[in-house]
Structure 1
Amino acid sequence: MSEGLRLRRGPPRMAPAAPGGGRPIAVPDKPAVSTYAALDLGTNNCRLLIARPHGAGFRVIDSFSRIVRLGEGISATGRISEAAIDRTIAALAICRSKIDLRNANRLRLVATEACRQAANGEVFCARVVREAGIRLEVINRENEATLAMIGCTPLVDDEARGAILFDIGGGSTEVVRIERGADGRLRMRAWTSLPFGVVTLAECFGGREVSQQVYARMEAEVARHLAPFVARHGDALDGLHLIGTSGTVTTIAGIHLNLPRYDRRRVDGLWMENAEISATVGRLLGMSYAERADSHCIRRERADLVLPGCAILDAIRHAFPLPRLRIADRGLREGMLVEMMREDGALAAT
């Protein structure tokens, strides 16, 4: 990452003189470097990063990710189910133990679309406090878009005028137009939040067996909701590229690279051309549910979600016909870490 480091240490504290007038003993200060934890509880996933400032960015010292499907069924019932609550609280209890184990003292623990939508969202959050010891902050869509941008801007090409960033979630999809100012800094020009993510789209149209016709209907529905944003902010695309952050785009990258198992080091920052994306989506459309479930880059937990995610991706790239997509295996958590470290002066603002 490109953020500059500004860490300061004072001189060591000195203990009182030893009995009998001996020299005072140097007692090391508590570490000047805070340990930061960022948790993102989405409609589909529960993800945690724990990190410390390091070099020009930060070093991850622990992490956790589990598919919990918190938002399963919300589109039909308007409520988080008891089964989803139990799965999620079990995952959050693991997160709490990791935060305690690493002595993280600077925390931001957020929840997104499922908790925004559900009629029992507040009841769920209160139960999480009691049973997992975690107090969730339910952030709004603009905050979600901003954090995704902060987390992903290091992947904007240095020569680009900006980028169209999109974050395909479980219950919503955020799209951000980023532009580079005359001073060289990247800023958000505009953003929107679409009421579709991979879980909600799968529940509306199905995700296990997806025909070409069903796929086209999914893409058309997303395009319909995206159209007003495109009409206002889809102009002058020269010098821009796409950046995608989500399980969908990282899965597409893994399939494109024919990885025997997912490898973040090869995926994060990868450039893909339009023809490569189209070919990979075509491969996925040609796979059965069982074949997708057997793929080490997809697995059973995401086998019914990857094609709805591809439909969202296709709607976005057809609305913004740019030749290149950069894959980001980063997003909200990294954005929260950077934001906290900047606030503390541990990273220089850019």
Structure 2
Amino acid sequence: MKIPMLDLSEQYKTLREDILGVLDEVMTSSQFILGSNVKKLESSIAEYCNVKHGVGVANGSDALHISLMACGVKEGDEVITTPFTFFATAGAIARCNATPVFVDIDPVTFNIDANQIEDKITAKTKAIIPVHLYGQMADMTKINEIAKAHNLYVIEDAAQAIGATHRGHHVGELGDTATLSFFPTKNLGAYGDAGMVVTNNDDLMEKMRVIRVHGSKPKYHHHVLGYNSRIDEMQAAILNVKFPHLDEWGKKRRKIASRYTEMLTGKVAGQLITPVESKDSYHVFHQYTIRVEKRDELQNHLKENGISTMIYYPVPLHLQPVFSDLGYKEGDFPQTEKAVKEAISLPMFPELKEEQQQYVVDSIVKFFQ
């Protein structure tokens, strides 16, 4: 049996006629940039996140950069974040000529350890970027307490966590901004690059809308240095078709995750660590990530049995060559460095069949036997 990490083809089959229909409408209208589909998507996502504004941009990486720019992050500033995340989080900080300051992770959730943040705050600190990794929100209660005490911006990196909640609050409600990615593999994915920033802050919204169109307002009048980062009208049309299914897909992901945990706990208890949903969280399981000491050996075994897996992420950001000038060394963040050697994500998508899951689990059991 061949089990892919992600299979988008089954989802497309169920939506094909609707998607082709809206694409034809866009082509017929010849309105390709910041048209009615973008406005509809911005409104829908903002309402879903219980905030006032959505600002569609070209991708999730730009969403982070534009958020930082709107918050006034510049050269000489420091921004606190996690070293256990995709490169874009720290890359956006560096592109503002600011300095990423890393904090180790909570080994249970993989998210930034909020209890270690305050020790890293200096007079140069301007913002905190918690990453809601794998679909579970960080401890936003503690993070916001710290941010308020030190007058810092909070930018939620929610690229993997649309639909997740913390104490009943959606991504976006608890930060000054929250950034979303609609990369095709995400829980709500386009058929190309796309992203969004959501916010309750009118001033930040206005700044971000100006930044995404070369910093011009009105057109051809430039008062700030922005750049070209707009969500594509065709991608917005596709996302408008897919968006009403998001919660249903999220429930299916949670059911698949629950089944994985039940089967693995019953058959290989003590051999690996399954994901934990915090008591304050609603986890949307963008990834189902386990921890195994012999991770690489397990991955090779599963590959030999036709099962695709992914390692998110094999090299922590503080040890990436591009950030060598920051002066970090191996051993600085022990929980992160342990996680990069143990974490492995199993196949996860709403259309994953029970017999496919059973095959994955049986293959894992055989590895330990």
Structure 2 length-normalised TM: 0.30
- Give the structure with the larger strand fraction: 1
Structure 1 length-normalised TM: 0.31
Look at both structures and tell me which one has the larger radius of gyration over its CA atoms.
Answer: 1
